[in-house]
Amino acid sequence: MAAELRETWVETAAGGLRALEAGDGPAVVLLHGSGTRGGPLPGPADLWRPLAGRLSGEHRVVALDLPGVGGSAADEPRRLSSAGAIEAVGEVLTKLGLGDAHLVAHDEAGLAALEATRSDPRIVSCTLIAPAAIIPAGDRQMNLALINRPKPHLARRSLVWTARRLVGDELCLDADLFDLLEREANSPHSRVVMEMRAGARAQIELTEARALTALYARVRDEGVTVPVAIIWGVRDPLSSFERAMLLHTLLSGGACPPSIHAMARCGHLPHLEAPAACAAIIRGQVRAGVPSPSHVVGEALA
Amino acid sequence: MVLVYGGNFGPPEFGGGDGANQWDSCFELLSASSRVIVYDKPGMGWTEAPKRDADYSMAFVVSHLISLLEALDCGPVGLVGHSRGGYIATRATLLRQDLVRSLTVINSGTLSPGVGTNAVALADVAHQGDQRAAIRWSLETYVYSPTSVDTSWVDTNIVLLDAPGHLEAVERIEAGNLLLDRFYPELARDKRETLTWLAEGRLQRPTQIVWGRDDRTAPVGLGRELFEGLAGHEPRTRFDVIDACGHFPYREHPEWFVSCLTSFLEEVARDGG
């Protein structure tokens, strides 16, 4: 289902932010992964189209290009960190007049999203999709899933190779998607940002490691304070369902019980692989305003 | 016997700052029946810091232990490693079985398959108040009963934070981002190889796994998994677990630990090693 998304620009002191927007109703803000640390695939807001299309009937959906990605500017390395992402979300909520908002974050954007649930009272729920990058990893265990990615990594062949290994079912991959990934990976803006990220790599890594540590301490001691749902594809090659359950345990114990939803056929991109099931869970998050108990969602929803 | 304690070089925020003093709870008890050697690892306690950036790796710490065993020249030893030291002792044994008669591994998330939970249990240790409060908080998080954290343990750890080797290591690590850039990635690679070697049955020495059941940082399930993997290859493998005990069995239950270790070493001696 294709969403009729319109492009919106939000001006900030750190440069313009690009967002795609559709629908009316409670605000749902979608945050892509692969922004902060330069993940395996480029992550512009356009990747949310299949999910946004299923939500825009009842919600005002805003898919944001985080700073440095797609059309959004990043004037300094700090803007590429999760702190920069939190700032950007705050600016978009204010300038678009969204009021209270439900965050949906893919992979590493989960760090910014969870932190925003504490720092920004306008965030009323948080859905984490395939949050592999924020699962406690002990001594940073090796993951070999993408160890032999064909070079150059920005070439279409390499992007296709990577996308195929990330998903549980290749049916969601098509030429339009590969066009989008290739265009984004090779845009002049992406190349400038990539150089900036490379120059500040050590600093960004240390900042993000500390932000993750601070998040672990907070949720360990306080749990989470808004409804949080984890959506996990059992075939995600970047971590395991067992590890995802550990993240769920870590987030548990506070006033607001979080839920986890496992999808048997999905890999690392459930919002592309099973957008209907993801939309159903997000609608539940929005409607209830209170978390649902942990359970496993079968394929019936997909 | 040679005892290898846990932790690594670097700032306390990343697990740095320990020393051989950790063994003081059982040192005398053990030395009643054996020659006992404890030592400070490179860039920790009173041992010098590694001089080259390339040596801020676990591989270097392992080779340092092997050099120590060679220099001691006392025949194959009973090697005992706690936490990160359990990995170091095991890796050294795999590389140089001629230097080791038996291996004892205590609460080692670093060695076990699976993932330890330090990152969560000890998150934000640097922000738990002043240096003394942070050290005490960290040790109390590791143990089952906070009363087992005595003042002298905390005092000695504070003194070690001013040791020249520790300070030099911290300075080099911070200047070169050596933990994130080098130590962790190389440890992840070597651990993978080590687990493969263990699964292949290459650890052909009597092995004892000792575990405190209530460890928040290295849950007892990790120890069980480690034991079951080893027991499939080496019949002289045992697993000793104690209740009401966190990460430091030899501090929380020193007499139990000493009796456990001593009985294992006697078994090995009876068996002819």
Give the residue extent of every domain in chain B. Answer: 2-270
Chain A residues 240-299 within an 8 A CB cutoff of chain B = 243, 246, 250
* Minimal C-alpha gap between A47 and chain B (Å): 31
Indicate the class that CATH gives domain A6-301: alpha beta
Q: With an 8 Å Cβ cutoff, is B181 touching chain A?
A: yes
**A39 φψ region: left (φ > 0), alpha (ψ -120 to 50), beta (else):** beta
Q: Which of B109, B123, B124 sits opposite A138 (nearest CB)?
A: B109
Find the mean pLDDT for residues B2-10: 96
CA-to-CA separations, A1 to A52, A58, A274, in angstroms, rounded: 9, 15, 12
Residues B253 and B242 sit within 8 Å (Cβ to Cβ): yes
The arithmetic mean of pLDDT across residues B199-215, rounded, is 96
The pLDDT of residue A296: 42
Q: What residues of A are in contact with residue B177 (Cβ under 8 Å)? A: 202, 205-206
| Per-residue model confidence as pLDDT tens for chain A (302 residues) | 445 899 999 999 999 999 999 999 999 999 999 755 567 898 899 999 999 999 999 999 999 999 999 999 999 999 999 999 999 999 999 999 999 999 999 999 999 999 999 999 999 999 999 999 999 988 878 889 999 999 999 999 999 999 999 999 899 999 999 999 999 999 999 999 999 999 999 999 899 999 999 999 999 998 899 999 999 999 999 999 999 999 999 999 888 889 999 998 899 999 999 999 999 899 989 986 643 444 444 443 43
A155 vs B147: CA distance, rounded Å = 60
Judge whether B130 is closer than 8 Å to chain A, CB to CB: no
Distance from CA of A78 to the nearest CA of B (A): 18
User: Could you tell me if B120 lies within 8 Å of chain A, comparing CB atoms?
Assistant: yes
Give A260's strand partners: A230
pLDDT score recorded for residue A289: 64
**Residue A3's pLDDT is what?**
52
Compute the mean pLDDT over every residue in chain B, rounded to the nearest whole number.
94
How big is the CA angle at B219 (ends A267 and B268), to the nearest 5 degrees? 120
Which residue of chain A comes nearest to B217, CA vs CA? A138
Tell me which residue of B38, B4, B3, B52 sits closest to B169, measured CA to CA. B52
Q: How far is Cα A259 from Cα A280, in angstroms, rounded to an integer?
A: 14
Contact A140 B127 (CB under 8 A): no
- Asked whether the beta carbons of residue A141 and residue B115 sit closer than 8 angstroms, the reply is yes
**Phi, psi angles (nearest 5°) of residue B192:** -55, -45
What b-and-e string marks burial along A78-111, b requiring 16 or more CB atoms within 10 Å of the CB? Answer: bbbbbbbbbbbbbbbbeebebeebbbbbbbbbbb
Interface check for B117 against chain A (CB to CB < 8 A): the answer is yes
Determine whether the interchain pair B123/A205 forms a contact, defined as Cβ–Cβ distance below 8 Å: no
Q: Give the model confidence (pLDDT) of B228-273 as tens digits.
A: 999 999 889 999 999 999 999 999 999 999 999 998 999 999 987 6
Contact yes or no for A136 and B177 at CB 8 A:
no
Question: What CATH class is the domain B2-270?
Answer: alpha beta
pLDDT value of residue A166? 96
pLDDT for the residue numbered A298: 41
Q: Which of B115, B120, B187 sits opposite A250 (nearest CB)?
A: B120
B115–A contact, CB cutoff 8 A: yes
Contact A214 B185 (CB under 8 A): no
Both tokens of A278, joined, read: 């993801």
Span B93-124, pLDDT tens digits:
999 999 999 999 999 999 999 888 888 888 87
Interface test with A, best of B13, B120, B181, B183 (most A CBs within 10 A): B120
In this prediction, residue A61 carries a pLDDT of 98
Would you state the pLDDT for residue A35? 57
Query: Given an 8 Å threshold on Cβ–Cβ distance, is B120 in contact with A137?
Result: no
The Cα diameter of chain B in Å comes to: 52
Does A138 reach chain B within 8 Å, measured CB to CB? yes
Query: Per-domain residue ranges for chain A?
Result: 6-301
CA angle B207, B212, B215 (to 5 degrees): 125
Nearest CA in chain A to B58: A139
Q: What is the pLDDT of residue B125?
A: 76
Q: How far is B186 from chain A (nearest CA, A)?
A: 10
Greater confidence, B213 or A292?
Answer: B213
The one-letter code for the residue type at B6 is G
Higher pLDDT, B24 or B13: B24
What number of C-beta contacts closer than 8 Å exist between A and B? 58
pLDDT of A294 reads 44
- Closest CB to B117: pick one of A136, A142, A217: A136
Identity of the residue in A202, A215, A243 whose CB atom sits nearest the CB atom of B181: A202
User: Are A139 and B185 a contacting pair at CB < 8 A?
Assistant: no
Q: How confident is the model at residue B221 (pLDDT cuts 50, 70, 90)?
A: very high
